[in-house]
Structure 1
């Protein structure tokens, strides 16, 4: 009988120790964040990348804040600005094989790209325009109008728009006029139906 009571006591102690350990793991911020903050892959790189090579995927996990009435804080640094988008698109564009120079303006609804490329004929010119446009499409929401030009004269128009503010009187007209000239003077890339033929 004493052996059975001691075995039950030892089992009870072991089970309570395991239960406490599970609670400690659940409360540990580095494994699961109950605070409503983000859990980034790079916070716990060892959990996701056993090989620890530096080729990380982008991963973010959001957990709803468990406290009623409190919301997750969004910092000003969490928002992508038009300047950051323009920078990203410009870097991606000059990474294309035939593009040597790229000026990008991002407005509220348009992306205007003036680029200089090594093209020898109209066909290669159209292909580069298509690549530049698709590169920009990969970086911005679908509702943005994307317009491209390889006309050196229009580069100055794009750069002039960059120095304007959205509240200036002629900004909308300057954007519309530049878009119109870009469409008239430069290939705008192939549309999806032509690409599939």
Structure 2
């Protein structure tokens, strides 16, 4: 009888130790913040350093975040709207593009819905280089962004002059539109697909009549010119 009680005690202690170990392991694995459960501590969207994982490279890790709907109706305290750091995004884009073949200098301006990229290149195939530059930027920003590029090195200083401005600056849309029209004189690369032009501007979108982009302005002008012939 004594041996049986001793055996039960040993098993109980083993199970308790295992539960404690499992809890500690889960605590190390999962970090909980509000209604968001993360495998790793949260960092910025574009984290240059990545997360260390044993002996692996910092950039080898997968990214994982799990969101759970809050149990409190209209509780927005724990569900902030995600956003991007435009300065850091511009840095990411420029850092990637300058590594492309035949690109020596690049400047990137990220607004609320556009990416303007001016670069210096000695490429003999300007359209292919423009395509690489554009697709590099598109791979970084949210999909609703439109990307405009120019291999006119003089445009670097021009978009640099806009760096102190923001979305609320006076006449900012008119200023950017004028610059974009100048950039469109340079190759823009290939259309992204049958539904979008090279800059990521879509055809036949749901809110096409409300979307005043460079594609629409160009096609309206062409249509009016053809109608007036």
Give the TM-score of the pair, scaled to structure 1. Answer: 0.75
C-alpha spacing 1:34/1:166, structure 2 compared with 1 (3 Å): closer
Partner in structure 1 of residue 91 of structure 2: 87
Q: 2:28 aligns with which of 12, 27, 30?
A: 30
Where does 1:48-197 land on structure 2 (aligned, <5 Å)? Answer: 52-54=55-57, 56-62=60-66, 64=68, 80-120=84-124, 124-183=125-184, 185-193=185-193
Q: Does the 8 A contact of 1:25 with 1:31 survive in 2? A: no
Aligned twin of 2:208: none
The answer for unaligned runs of 5 or more in structure 1 is 47-51
Matched, 1:21 2:17: yes
Residue correspondences, number: 179
> 2-side partners of 1:179 and 1:32: how far apart?
46
Q: 1:61/1:163 Cα in 2 relative to 1: closer, same or farther (>3 Å)?
A: closer
Higher fraction of helix = 1
1:118 CA drift (Å)? 1.3
Indicate the structure whose relative CO is greater, using CA pairs within 8 Å and at least 6 residues apart.
1
Return the TM-score normalized by structure 2: 0.66
CA distance in 2 between partners of 1:134 and 1:23 (Å): 50
Secondary structure, aligned partner of 1:135? helix
Structure 1 or 2, whichever has the larger Rg, is 1
CA distance in 2, matches of 1:43, 1:94: 25
Q: Do the aligned partners of residues 17 and 53 (structure 1) sit closer, same or farther apart at CA in structure 2, a change above 3 Å counting?
A: same
Secondary structure in 1 matching 2:115: strand
Aligned CA distance change for structure 1 residues 34 and 135 (closer, same or farther; 3 Å)? closer
2:106–2:120 Cα contact (<8 Å) kept: yes
**Cα shift readout 1:155-175 (whole Å, capped 9, x = no counterpart):** 233122223232221211111
SS, match of residue 127 in structure 1:
helix
Q: Which runs of 5+ in 2 are unaligned?
A: 42-49, 195-229
